[in-house]
Amino acid sequence: MPRKITYRDAIREALDEEIARDPMVVVMGEEVAQYNGAYKVTQGLWEKWGDKRLVDTPISEAGFIGMGIGASMLGVRPVMELMFWSFYTVAWDQIVNNAAMVRYMSGGKIHCPIVIRGPANGGTNVGATHSHTPENIMANFPGMKCVCPSNARDAKGLMKAAIRDNDPVMFMESTKLYGEEWEVPENGELPEGELVIPLGVADIKRHGTDISLIAHGRAVITSLEAARILQEEHGINAEVVDLRSIRPLDEETILDSVARTHRAIYIEENKPYCGIGAQIAYRIQQAVFDELDAPVQRICSLDAPAIYSPALEPVQLPTPELIVAKALEIC
């Protein structure tokens, strides 16, 4: 039987393997050591690797993210945990003005191989200040990479690639996925020896012929459920394209899919204004306009701060029903 592990366990495996592989990999953040991480992603790693490889930091994102960026410029490969990605704003100057720009500003002489990871999602009733999805903001800056895995297998493979990358990688997870299980092969089961998924390579999670549902992060799971309903109840065969990586972006896979299906919806838990879907829709109409049989559509989170109410917040996020309704409009 194929092995199934949770999303959080897959990320932990990636961290464990990379710490073992490279003595310069260090995990830093609030409560990542003895406490095992706010969401238990680093559970057991401090006991195994000790204080030099799992480093608890003060509650100061500006301080410890800045420290990690400085360390990365000197050859360390830090993996920095944000308890919520919403707290990136506290370290905005460090991330955007330093991490993103140092290689360009130094003429390629200084690299910044840092990974900043943590949950970036709504839907958990923690309020507007803890529910940001800033992948569109991070992807806006040349010099940074942005990754949003939708499942445990991708989370492990992309994390390993992110740690080995010489540029800063913003790694955005979902608390709603941490406890979900997927098949993740053990290293010995793979012909290449280990699971490393290159950044910038999208994945078709479901092949189809009638419409392309393009998404990233947990919206991929929502899209797969919508595709099931479309097939079983309406006879519409939807293709589901998982970006996996926001920047670099695999445009070829997106455009090839739309050229085959002739219809497209972009689904994201981000806000619609200046969102990822706006960029994707623009590139589709620019590159394969003549292949389209209907306008490109978007389904996003409602354009308002995250709702605190457990009864109302689910209404703010994309649902399979919303995707099905929009697909029926254009099919």
Give φ, ψ of 46 to 5 degrees.
-65, -45
**Residue 236, number of CB atoms within 10 A of its CB:** 20
State the catalytic residue, choosing from 130, 132, 216, 262. Answer: 130
Three-class secondary structure of residue 117 per DSSP: strand
Radius of gyration for the chain, computed over Cα atoms and rounded to the nearest angstrom? 20
Strands (E), the chain: 4-6, 25-29, 54-56, 77-81, 115-119, 145-147, 169-173, 181-183, 203-206, 211-215, 238-242, 245-247, 264-267, 297-299
Whether 31 sits among the annotated catalytic residues: the reply is no
- Give the DSSP H/E element, type plus range, for residue 221: helix 219-234
Q: Phi, psi (5° rounding) for residue 199? A: -70, 145
* Angstrom distances, CA of residue 200 to CA of 77, 116, 158: 20, 17, 10
* Interatomic CA distance for residues 67 and 17, integer angstroms: 23
The H-assigned helical ranges of 243-319 are 251-261, 276-288, 313-316
Between helix 219-234 and helix 320-330 the angle, nearest 10°, is 60
Q: Which position among 17, 30, 61, 135 bears the catalytic label?
A: 61
Q: What angle do helix axes 276-288 and 251-261 make, rounded to 10 degrees?
A: 60
Q: Are 260 and 232 in contact (CB under 8 A)?
A: no
Active site residue 130: yes
Provide the 3-class DSSP secondary structure of residue 181: strand
**Torsion angles phi and psi, residue 111, rounded to 5:** -105, 160
Report the distance separating Cα 86 and Cα 172, nearest Å: 11
- The residues carrying an active-site annotation are 61, 130
